[in-house]
Structure 1
């Protein structure tokens, strides 16, 4: 079973996108090889749901972070080696002899083969030397065994036509499967070294995955991974307190906190480092968010109706019995205050009954919070706004309770909008 995160959620949290400069994928993409890029993309697209597999991958990243290794392969040489090992066409001794002996035949193919062979020999030598630094890494034993079987790697003998034919046949035919495994090993090392470097540079940590039951999420310091000076907050959820009802003024940091939570949970299911300290979590079946729900002009959907359909979709998933994490930012902001109050109250109360799921629900309609106090499994939190004269200052530090801040009109007045129109 694969971890569930639909297109809306991936876009809300800005998780994917090699060419999106602010995406979480791009934050980790310090990859040197094409195969490493492809492996990183697969990891992002396929988070894990097996507790042991998640913790094993985290342990691998942690190992490489402690080693602080530098990726030893030259990008150009490695691409030449990869292209050579994946070349098609005849490469047997008779075929090469025929090419060389035929004076009318263009020799470019042979020169390309020779360049690729030399690059491959260089890569294999580098790999064997690099493995000396991985003496305590379990997977390295099989790689060393393969490389030890190629005794001529250290030979500086001249690459005659016959030697080229013999080496070529050995690498691209006899040991083809082993070479594919070694290439894949380099791709893995590329990802492990790159991701662990990011973790070390940005002060990320590794979460501990727990079985799906009982439901637990706990961290002492959660922040957004893309913010260099992000404020960290503690967040705790469990089956007896599985809903965070979040309030706060505009710009107080509600959306950033919710995104931080969703991103940390997603990365943790990948076994990746997270921008959260002392984090442990019960493995979930998936993650759904409703943060930036667009209207749909082609379907004739207003913004409010698009919100309703999103909530309906999530409700169907929750009611099916899956262990999910749900993030709702400003429920029903596309309708009038009375309907938004009634709908937010009813939907939050209904979702709260599903103790196997976690919810973070934010709203500007703070009156809903008082009506929800009867539900023991809700925790109320807010992000405060401090006034310095008539200027608001945001601490981004989570507090217990429901906000009483109402500073929207003050911000409008500070910007001089009414005065501008009156003039």
Structure 2
């Protein structure tokens, strides 16, 4: 099965993985541990097209949303455990002689390595006890593969009598000889098992961060179906304060959603919200919408915040042309691609922009595959295409009140020729300055 297609421009347009607080990743990143953050980033980077894998991810998040009020995972414990287990100075063998020798050595001259070993083992015991308690508190979680695997890793480690005894009856002060035995078990004999358990713990942290964020923000799980359509109700942008929710529908009858509206009416925000919802659905996450129904898509390509490519000597218009070419190439390989173009061909003269937009959108509507959201600053293109029954026309309205534009950001059916560019110039005092 082919992977879900997207590219750097799309990730940037939708602020999916940007560094800093203003990204969709940051919205979900309520992880407790550093390793949990890395695991969450890995989930974000791997959108899926396999329904079983998507359902498995969603089931894990849904269970944590419904059943776990708080994940009592201690950051300091897990972070130090990671340091201890991955320290390069690991034991290579163990014998009675080595155990006694090290016991005597560290009794008279304990060093940093000894204290790290003692603390690391204590943190490992606490972690094993946490996993044991989690399984006992949530036995129904054994139906969730990640949680079942975590309990299986615990079972493998506690098959050894020493580790089993520690978990069932923990001791705060272990004898130095016992420390040497346990250190060998954790960092040599059962080393791969301990690393696997740690990795599973990080993914539990990541999934719980998604669950707690989704629960707090009212996100919902998408429904996947075989029927070729994309239907969103109450979709909103997760990074906008007090966002306005809208409905977006694309199906086999109308594969193109053509959106018109004045500057600042919310076209870009709506397109970004749609793209974000589609991407999140394909990493198995809940989405910022009241309802989402979709087929599994092959990929997502957006062109929203496109810049000149100075290094390659590309103008803005040529960069747009390269994006359209990329879409055409991907359409040849994919039947279910979502393409979003905001303000198509804004980088060239009005005549070329009109002619190019008209022909491109006509071509999109006649393909018989894929879905397209397109906006343009040239309303005449929408009017020229208004009789095309394969295109859904929607607009975001604006009106003037007391000589100021007012927007409600609610999508409506039809075409608008609202323009406020001249008002913006006047409001900024440009003409007065130029006198």
Residues 163 and 345 of structure 1: is their aligned pair in 2 closer, same or farther, counting only changes over 3 Å? Answer: same
Aligned to 2:199: 184
SS in 2 for 1:326: strand
C-alpha RMSD of the superposition = 2.0
Shift of 1:13: 0.9
Q: Deviations over 1:380-423 (max 9, x none)?
A: 0000002113111011000101112122212322333223333x
Residue 106 of structure 1 deviates from its aligned partner by 6.1
The corresponding residue for 1:29 is 29
Q: Pairwise mapping of residues 228-307 of structure 1 onto structure 2 (< 5 A)?
A: 228-307=241-320
Question: After superposition, where does 1:13-412 map in structure 2 within 5 Å?
Answer: 13-17=14-18, 19-88=19-88, 89-90=90-91, 92-93=94-95, 94-102=97-105, 107-137=111-141, 138=143, 139=145, 140-144=147-151, 146-147=154-155, 149=159, 150-157=164-171, 158-211=173-226, 214-412=227-425
Report the 3-state secondary structure (helix = DSSP H, G, I; strand = E; otherwise coil) of the residue aligned with 1:270: coil
Which whole-Å CA distance do the structure 1 matches of 2:234 and 2:427 have between them? Answer: 34
Q: CA deviation at 1:355?
A: 2.4
Check conservation: 2:91, 2:184, Cα contact below 8 A: no
Q: Could you tell me how far apart the structure 2 residues matched to 1:314 and 1:201 are? A: 36
1:293–1:307 contact (8 Å) kept in structure 2: yes
Give the drift of 1:176.
Answer: 3.0
The answer on whether the counterparts of 1:207 and 1:280 sit within 8 Å (CA) in structure 2 is: yes
- Structure-2 separation of matches of 1:270 and 1:159: 44
| Rounded Cα–Cα distance in structure 2 between residues aligned with 1:202 and 1:167 | 44
The CA distance in 2 between the partners of 1:101 and 1:407, in whole Å, is 83
CA distance in 1, matches of 2:40, 2:292: 23
2:233–2:246 CA contact under 8 A, matched in 1: yes
Q: Which moved more, 1:54-63 or 1:90-99?
A: 90-99
Deviation at 1:80, TM superposition (A): 1.7
Is the Cα–Cα contact under 8 Å of residues 80 and 120 in structure 1 kept in the other structure? no
Structure 1 residue 16, shift from structure 2 partner: 0.7
The more displaced of 402-411 and 156-165 is 156-165
255-264 or 287-296: bigger deviation: 287-296
Question: Do the aligned partners of 1:99 and 1:105 also contact (CA within 8 Å) in 2?
Answer: no
| Displacement over 4 Å in runs of 4+ | 102-106
Query: In the TM superposition, what whole-angstrom CA distance separates every residue of 1:306-333 from its partner, at most 9, and x where no partner exists?
Result: 1111111111111334421100011111
What's the offset of the Cα at 1:102? 4.2
SS in 2 for 1:37: helix
1:174, CA displacement in angstroms? 3.6
Partner Cα distance (2:170, 2:401) in 1: 75
- Asked if 1 retains the 8 angstrom alpha-carbon contact of 2:307 and 2:319, the reply is yes
Q: 1-side partners of 2:371 and 2:120: how far apart? A: 53
Query: Does the Cα contact within 8 Å between 2:103 and 2:180 map onto a contact in 1?
Result: no
Alpha-carbon distance in structure 1 between the residues aligned to 2:311 and 2:49: 36
Offset at residue 366 of structure 1 (A)? 0.7
CA distance in 1, matches of 2:313, 2:148: 60
For residues 156 and 414 of structure 1, what CA distance do their matches in structure 2 show?
72
TM-score (norm 2): 0.91
Q: Is the 8 A contact 1:72 1:130 kept in 2?
A: no
Q: 1:170 offset after TM fit, Å? A: 2.9
Q: Which runs of 5+ in 2 are unaligned?
A: none
The secondary structure found in structure 2 opposite 1:404 is coil
**Normalised by the size of structure 1, how large is the TM-score?**
0.93
Q: How far is the alpha carbon of 1:96 from its aligned partner?
A: 4.3
- Of the structure 1 ranges 170-179 and 284-293, higher mean CA displacement relative to structure 2 is found in 170-179
Gaps of 5+ in 1: none
Q: 1:57 to 1:39 in 2, by over 3 A?
A: same
Distance in 1, matches of 2:181 and 2:77, equals 21
Q: 1:102 to 1:382 in 2, by over 3 A?
A: same
Question: In structure 2, what is the equivalent of residue 418 of structure 1?
Answer: 431
